[in-house]
Amino acid sequence: MDRIEKIALVTGGSRGIGRAIALRLSRMGCFVWINYLSNREAAAETLRLLLSEGGQGALAPFDVSDFDGVQASIAKLVAARGPVDILVNNAALSRDGLLVRAGETQWDETIDTNMKGVFNCCRAVIRGMMKNRRGRIVNITSVVADAGNTGQAIYSASKSGILGFTRSLAQELGPRNITVNAVSPGFIESDMTASLSEASRRKILQRIPLGRPGNPDDVAAAVAFLATEEASYITGQIIHVNGGLYM
């Protein structure tokens, strides 16, 4: 895969899938801004791993759900290193539970981070990309955006919205040589899935043709490909990384 030597911003880059993406883009030659909200220790570990491999990067703490804060924070990043060439919208949270028991706060927090966060970050970087007539935007969604899941109606709604946003933005930005795609992970080993009971894990694995969970590097590989020139004719697409869980 080609060495791209560009500026990348990975939101939610402190652990799990975000960490794997940050490291993969660094190995491809990117300077990587590692965004996080509250877990500075985990974000610092991502940066330590990146630097230990000879990569370049820095921490970028801000709340993706805060429109004004995102615009100001990304403006500072651009002033420090130049326009963002690759944006990976990975920051997300899940407030799972049956809808009959859900409150307005659960809805607002999930939508503000998972959907509004994507809008906020895209809004902050696209002018620079349009001016340079190049750019890659990759939005991380989820298998539940297509398949749904009991107890995840709110999370599913937030991730489903990203699909329409991705396809529409791809049409808007295509004439400026900017691609916009989404990667949709399935059952990936992470902090989110670690709390599942053994019975729940077995039930999910029985539905996966490959018979195993994925790992963060599986998702990072798809994101990295979409960031390269090799993927320059791919836009408005949803790449499913789920072992066949949903087809």
CA angle 75, 111, 150 (to 5 degrees): 145
Helical ranges in 86-150 per DSSP H: 104-111, 117-132, 144-147
Look-up of token digits 């809004």? 123
DSSP line for 149-192: -TT-HHHHHHHHHHHHHHHHHHHHHGGGTEEEEEEEE-SB-SHH
User: Has 246 been annotated as catalytic?
Assistant: no
CA angle 221, 192, 200 (to 5 degrees): 105
- The half-sphere exposure of 42 on its side-chain side, counting CA atoms within 13 A, is 16
Rounded Cα distance, 149 and 3, in Å: 38
**Residues designated as active site:** 155
